[in-house]
Amino acid sequence: MTELDGVLPQTAFELIEEFGKSVTLTRVFEGAYDTATSQVLAPVPVPYTIKVTPPEPFKGNEIISGLINAGDLKFLLSPLALEVEGAPADYEPGTLDKLDVDGVRHSVANVRKIYSGELVALYEVAARR
C-alpha cells in the first residue's frame, strides 16, 4: 500500500458523500448452480442506495467505440460506497448492474478503475439508457 492509498480513497468517498447524488445501484448477482436440478438459477438483483458524482456526458475524446458511446453518462463512485450492509466485500460494479437516477434506469456499459497507488480510489462508470 502506498502513502496515497491511505488518504485518497477516503477523501474521494467523503467528497462524494457530501456533494454527490443519491442513486440506486442494482447489483445483479449471477445465479447459483442447483445440483438437484443441474441448472443455473436466475440472476438475483439486489438494490442499494449509494451516492455518486452528478452525471455528466462523456466528451468527444473520451468516446471509445464499443465501450463508451455518445450519449452515455459518466458517474464516479467510491469503492467505499459499495461497502454497504449485506454486500460482499470484494464487489466491483459490472455490466450486469443497473443505476436508477431520477427515475430513469441506466445499464452499466463500462467500468474503469482509477487507482490512487495500489488501491482503487474510484470507479468511472459509463451508464447507458
Q: Is 80 exceeded by the pLDDT of residue 87?
A: no
pLDDT at 89 exceeding the cut of 90: no
Residue 112's pLDDT is 95
Residue 66 sits in a domain of what CATH number?
2.40.10.270
14 or 88: which leads in pLDDT: 14
Tell me the mean pLDDT in the region 72-91.
Answer: 85
How many Å apart are CA 8 and CA 93, to the nearest integer?
20
Q: With a cut of 90, say whether residue 70 has pLDDT above it.
A: no
Range 87-94, long-range pairs (CB < 8 A, 24+ positions): 87/27, 87/46, 87/48, 91/27, 92/120, 92/123, 93/25, 93/27, 93/123, 93/125
pLDDT band at 86 (very low <50, low <70, confident <90, very high): low
State how far the Cα of 5 lies from the Cα of 8, in Å rounded to an integer.
6
Q: Which amino acid is at 23?
A: V
State the Cα–Cα distance between residues 103 and 11, nearest whole angstrom: 29
pLDDT in tens, 46-69: 899 999 999 999 988 888 877 898
For residue 127, what pLDDT band results from cuts at 50, 70 and 90?
very high
The pTM of the full predicted model, rounded to 2 decimals, is 0.85
- The count of structural domains within the chain is 1
Instruction: Centre a 10 Å sphere on the Cβ of residue 112 and count the other Cβ atoms it contains.
Output: 13
Domain that holds residue 73: 4-128
Q: pLDDT exceeding 90 applies to what percent of the chain?
A: 60
pLDDT exceeding 70 applies to what percent of the chain? Answer: 98
Q: Which residue has the higher pLDDT, 47 or 28?
A: 47
Query: Closest Cα to residue 109, out of 45, 65, 52, 48?
Result: 65
